[in-house]
Structure 1
Amino acid sequence: MTDARKYRMRLVRAHIDYITAEINDVDKQIEYLISSYPDYDKAIRLLTTIPGVKHDSAITIISEIGIDMSQFCNSKHLCC
């Protein structure tokens, strides 16, 4: 392997490490914000009781639709 290739691989690895650290920081911030809002935490915990809905999926769902379900007449309106 050439020195140039080794150098590029080190740069790529450093970039991957940086991005991974940033993702971890964002995940920590999300968890902090969720814990700061009990209603959101409760909604996320409730969603995770549905088979197949894991924590990250529940967070995504709540971030998209919010916790006020009164805007949906029924479950079909939510799913459309």
Structure 2
Amino acid sequence: MFQFGILCVRSVIRIQRLRYTPEPVSLGVTRIDPYRIKTLRKLIDNCAFRVYGHWVKKGEGQDRAALFQNTPKIDFPRTPIISPLIISHA
């Protein structure tokens, strides 16, 4: 009876800690697509910034995201686009 009580207490504690326990990730998934896992993605980005952070200028032209962009970001104006008036000759 005592062992059953201990088993119940251990299982209740395990159920309570289940939401804080990260799910296991296979090595194959991390090799194929490491950026799918948010924690691993942040780790990769932080390590890359430590290595290449001295290349990023601290002005307005560049920021930390510039290290990870394939193409430069284009800021489009926020004015509404007005379509031209098309008149057809019938």
TM-score where L is the length of structure 1: 0.29
| Greater C-alpha Rg | 2
Pick the structure with more helix per residue. Answer: 1
RCO higher in 1 or 2 (8 Å CA, sep ≥ 6)?
1
TM-score where L is the length of structure 2: 0.27
